[in-house]
Amino acid sequence: MPPGVIGPEMRAYYHRRAPGYDDWWLGKGEFAQRSRPGWAEEVEALVQVASGLSPARVLDVACGTGFLTRRLRGEVTGLDQSETMLAVAAERAPGVRLVRGDAVPLPFADSEYDRVFTSHFYGHLLPEEREAFLAEARRVAGELVVVDAALRDGVEPEGWPVRALADGTTYRVYKRFFTAESLADELGGGEVLHAGRWFVVVRAVGGPAGSNGD
């Protein structure tokens, strides 16, 4: 992977977050007292979006603990750079093929998959990294589904927030937030599958990076 694509500090952060990462999804542990109105309902909506995608040869890039991966249907492969994330995913998504590797370049052949799915990964990519990832995603599959964080009132569209773990260690993590329309524009056009307070989901089909395939 080129230097800077999910850099070492961010890699270390997610590597160490793995054991409790699903607490974020489920509103448990340190997240139990956070005020997130409608969060649980939107997480369930994401589960329904993922499980409602047609069965296919699917590659989930940055699959993490497999929270959404295990809802995908078809021949599913989960890719992540963190061995601790993959260890959790192996327990929770036993029917998924898991591969440790990077997103640029993707360690797969041209058109090996029908769909690339990725959740809360695209929004961590710096400008020069996005184009490389989109090109790789479209090299290996004809469809791309991106799940990411919704832009909402009181949140900056992008920044480097400091994230703290329970052991007191802190990490700077680059993060962007999207409207459904802005994400679709970046993907070269696409179908909005979900547009909520907390999450957006867009599906783009075909074509090189920056094209909607028309």
Q: β-strands 143-149, 115-119: how paired?
A: parallel
The 10s digit of each residue's pLDDT in 19-54 is: 889 999 999 988 999 999 999 999 999 999 999 999
Superfamily for the 8-205 domain: Vaccinia Virus protein VP39 (3.40.50.150)
Signed CA dihedral, 83, 102, 99, 57: sign only: positive
Q: Where are the domains of the chain?
A: 8-205
How would residue 4 be classed by pLDDT, with cut points 50, 70 and 90? Answer: very low
Distance CA 63, CA 50 (A): 13
User: Which residues, in sequence order, are CB contacts of 118 under 8 Å at separation 6+?
Assistant: 60, 61, 62, 137, 144, 145, 146, 147
pTM score over 0.85: yes
How would residue 3 be classed by pLDDT, with cut points 50, 70 and 90? Answer: very low
The 10s digit of each residue's pLDDT in 75-111 is: 999 999 999 999 999 999 999 999 999 999 999 999 9
